[in-house]
Structure 1
Amino acid sequence: MATAPDPQQPSPRIARLARGLKLGANSLLVTLFGDVVAPRPQAVWLGSLIRLAAPFGINDRLVRTATFRLTADDWLAATRIGRRSYYGLSEAGLQRVVHAGKRIYAGEAQEWDGRWTLVMVRGDVRATVRQKLKRELLWEGFGAIAPGVMAHPSADLGSLREIIQSARAQDYVAVMEASSLAAFSIRPLQALMHQTFKLGDVAHAWQALLRRFSPLAEEAADLPPVDAFFVRTLLVHEYRRVLLRDPNLPEALLPQDWPGRTARGMCSGMYGALLEASEEYLHGVVEVAEGGLADASNELRKRFKHA
């Protein structure tokens, strides 16, 4: 007699999608909190997190260790109700995923006006402040063009201000605007961006993502709930991993055959196709501190500009 498929585990064919990937507990939980929890700020039971991580080969011990570390690093806030532990995003963690979400779920870069935002850090800033500032700015898409100097062609000034304030670096950072001059060739700037942002490596990462997920694009809307959740989470996880290395440069600074354009389009279409079934799975599996898992369909469909 054939064994009935486990409704909590993806089908073997879909599970093979993760083959060859190194899925760390910390990074996977950040993906889950950013994609699932952030649009409905609720605290999720630890047991539900363990259940959500299991299909990706991450056991309960690794989830417990990861939640402890992420809480210590001010990503998560823990709540105890009876004998159960619940985890939600901390204020700093929510700020981080909101900043990242603006890039992850956004569309193509807007038309560029040739202006740059430069962030220059004083040399006498404490090492801990410098490291935190650099880490947050890299996540925001800035590139280090020289020691103590970072640049972005289309920076979100509100997010930049929050990053500087969060690092308590207001007295150590100068923010300036620069413009490309039409009288000079753009080629050296293109070469500088290629080196600064390691665009060759980013292009290879986009191509690998396309090879992995594009064969499922046509059937994404027809997958059963557990498979849809698995593909959605893995898609966002890998897309986020590549995108946070990609500065989303203006068209004028990119190669003509840039694979990021195709990858963005594929991920946009697949995410929308996977939403309904994956949300059905989440509502059946996730337990929160109060009530049921909130309906975030309207908010989720705004991602990637889905109507």
Structure 2
Amino acid sequence: MQNSLNTRSMIFTLYGDYIRHYGNEIWIGSLIRLLEEFGHNEQAVRAAISRMNKQGWIVSRKQGNKSYYYLTPRGVRRMDEAAKRIFKLQPDEWDQTWYMFTYTIPEEKRSIRDELRKELVWSGFGLLANSFWISPNNQREQIQQMLEKYEIGDYVHYFTATYDGPNECAKLVNECWDLQATNEKYDRFIKIYSEKYVIDKTKIENGEMTDGECFVERTKLVHEYRKFLFVDPGLPQELLPDNWLGNYAASLFSDYYRTLAVPSSRFFETIYQEGNTVKKDKAYNALNHPLINEL
């Protein structure tokens, strides 16, 4: 049986890249059928869905003897934030402002610490000193959500600043993030997916790749690429090393995604409509993802 955590991660990918744009909910039977394409069985899917429900990412509703699952407002916010970062081709311009966040969580709330650290890393913060995190990106909204989620307003301080030395910002960046390790991950991604892109593009052009195969490859592509959300802080161009490969990887991702978009969406709709009324967003089609125009 597939590891339920892996199954859960794949479900997040499906919600973010497909289900979010089709009425935001899906019949469990359709979800099970879609996950079968990746070797996940019914037991693993149901276990992962149950866990996501307990964690507050999704909720369920019954219609007759069918169970449907849809994203909570918290889940929608996370999917939207992830999509903005996944489909961003170039880093934002920087206004030289640093956003700083520090906390002193009491011992009786120590269980919150690990979760808070994960949230900060996912949002792109870097650890400068013990319980002292910084980011060059505007993080006001993310911080407010964390304060409300964990009820830690009495234990944190949040402020902005400029860096006046005595060293260059590059030294500050190197102390907070391991960009070399991230760049090596981008290098591996580029080497693997450059070859796959050429092969699949040729197959599609020659009619040698089914819609189901395109669905699998697009989902795997997004699934692998979104892992960079956990290791790439999304720094402004001014703070990135000269040999940074993130921009090239983003361009490769966009080209490959576009190539797979139409046939993979056809397959998804075929499975989805077996147990759902198709409520595709009016603004959405395979080549008009709400953010794909940035690609």
TM-score under structure 1 length normalisation: 0.83
Structure 1: 5+ residue runs without aligned partners? 1-21
Partner of residue 301, structure 1: 289
Which aligned pairs between 1:217-236 and structure 2 lie closer than 5 A?
217-218=197-198, 219-220=200-201, 222=205, 223-236=209-222
Query: Residue 170 of structure 2: which of 186, 190, 207 is its match?
Result: 190
Which aligned pairs between 1:244-259 and structure 2 lie closer than 5 A?
244-259=230-245
What's the CA shift for 1:204?
1.7
What SS class does the counterpart of residue 81 from structure 2 fall into? helix
What's the CA shift for 1:288?
7.8
Partner of residue 266, structure 1: 252
What SS class does the counterpart of residue 85 from structure 2 fall into? helix
CA contact (8 A) 1:45 1:287 kept: no
1:144 aligns with 2:127: yes
Which aligned pairs between 1:113-132 and structure 2 lie closer than 5 A?
113-124=95-106, 126-132=109-115
What SS class does the counterpart of residue 18 from structure 2 fall into? helix
Give, in whole Å, the separation in 1 of the partners of 2:211 and 2:286. 19
The code of the aligned residue for 1:268 comes to: S
Partner of residue 163, structure 1: 146
Partner of residue 10, structure 1: none
Paired residues, number: 283
Partner of residue 211, structure 1: 191
Partner of residue 239, structure 1: 225
Identity of aligned residues (%): 28
Q: For residues 123 and 75 of structure 1, do their structure 2 counterparts lie closer, same or farther at Cα, with a shift above 3 Å needed?
A: closer
What's the CA shift for 1:290?
5.4
The code of the aligned residue for 1:129 comes to: I
What's the CA shift for 1:298?
7.7
CA contact (8 A) 2:91 2:235 kept: yes
CA root-mean-square deviation:
2.5
What's the CA shift for 1:44?
0.6
Per-residue CA deviations over 1:88-147 (Å, capped at 9, x if unaligned) read 112222222222222122232112222110011134372233333322222111122222
Give, in whole Å, the separation in 1 of the partners of 2:7 and 2:48. 6
What SS class does the counterpart of residue 24 from structure 1 fall into? helix
Give, in whole Å, the separation in 2 of the partners of 1:43 and 1:140. 26
CA contact (8 A) 2:58 2:71 kept: yes
